[in-house]
Structure 1
């Protein structure tokens, strides 16, 4: 689909992460061998940062400002695109189809996604 491009912000409508915002990292209009349906590799926020005030200590502020990311392959039918886009240069080339083969690669990709999202 022409409007599901890299950087498009979307909302997942089904499953464990229903209602969570994601960024499309790599769209696959024709599918792949492992996933023979149109899908997208997405990176999103599982746990959002909490409210921070000036009264809180610096340690508590940093703890509440943390983000928990996730990486997932999602069918186009379960993605609702929004009008927003997000330019994340740190995600290019980090999350690919090969990322999902080994757990260690997936954990490394999550760490880079976390850094990129916390910068924003």
Structure 2
């Protein structure tokens, strides 16, 4: 999965969550993940780990400036599984960005489009 042409993640713009109970659960997940990965602002989750041909939950973390935050395999796998279980409606053949400040999940492609000025 390519990051961006500068090697940094783009920040996702917030959108409204549809349900208060669901959005509360998602905000709690974001708070838990922020505790597990200190300094992270966005967690990018996908079903494909780079370098593997079979599906495997994978996560990368980025700070507020878009720089990569180091995750060990256990934390990355745990974060990816938690996000996937909290958002079962998402199409996990694509990558998604979870904003840890708001708990909003957005397709990673939207972050690229916003940063390139196409939106």
TM-score normalised according to structure 2 size: 0.29
Tell which structure's C-alpha radius of gyration is larger: 1
Q: Which has the higher contact order (CA 8 A, sep 6+)?
A: 2
* Structure with the largest fraction of helix: 2
More strand by share: 1
